[in-house]
Amino acid sequence: MNWKYLAALGCILVVGFFTGKAIQTAHAHSTNSYSVRYLSTAFDDAGKPTNEEYKFLARRADGSRAEGFVVDSVSGAQPTITKTISLVPQGVRVYVHGLSESTSTTKLSENEIERLKTMGANDPTCLANSRSAVPPANLGNTTYLGFEVVKQLIHIRNTPNTLEQWKASALNCEALYSLLTMNGSKRNETKAVSVKEGEPDPSFFSVPANYQERSPGEIQRLAWQKEGIGPVPPATQKRMDRADQVYQANKATPVQTAH
**Domains present along the chain, CATH in parentheses:** 24-214 (2.50.20.10), 215-249 (no CATH)
Given this model, what pLDDT does residue 45 score?
Answer: 85
- Spatial neighbors of 74 by CB under 8 A, at least 6 apart, are 99, 226, 227
Given this model, what pLDDT does residue 15 score?
Answer: 29
Return d(Cα 216, Cα 223) in angstroms, integer.
10
Low-confidence ranges of the chain (pLDDT < 70): 1-31, 74-76, 129-133, 257-259
Given this model, what pLDDT does residue 52 score?
Answer: 92
- Interstrand relation of 65-71 and 49-59 (parallel, antiparallel or unpaired): antiparallel
Q: ∠ CA 128-68-27 to the nearest 5 degrees?
A: 50
Is residue 183 helix, strand or coil? coil
Q: Name the burial class of residue 146, with classes exposed (0-12), middle (13-18) and buried (19+) by CB atoms within 10 angstroms of its CB.
A: middle
Given this model, what pLDDT does residue 13 score?
Answer: 33
Return d(Cα 202, Cα 86) in angstroms, integer.
13
Q: Give the alpha-carbon dihedral of 103, 109, 113, 115, to 10 degrees.
A: -110
Long-range pairs for 115-118: beta carbons < 8 A, 24 or more residues apart: 116/63, 116/64, 116/65, 116/86, 116/88, 117/62, 117/63, 117/88, 118/63
Given this model, what pLDDT does residue 28 score?
Answer: 47
- Contact status, residue 137 vs residue 126, Cβ threshold 8 Å: no
Given this model, what pLDDT does residue 130 score?
Answer: 67
- Spatial neighbors of 106 by CB under 8 A, at least 6 apart, are 92, 93, 246, 247, 250, 251, 252
Rounded to two decimals, what is the model's pTM? Answer: 0.83
Given this model, what pLDDT does residue 137 score?
Answer: 92
- Contact status, residue 50 vs residue 42, Cβ threshold 8 Å: yes
Q: What are phi and psi of 150, to 5 degrees?
A: -100, 125
Given this model, what pLDDT does residue 8 score?
Answer: 31
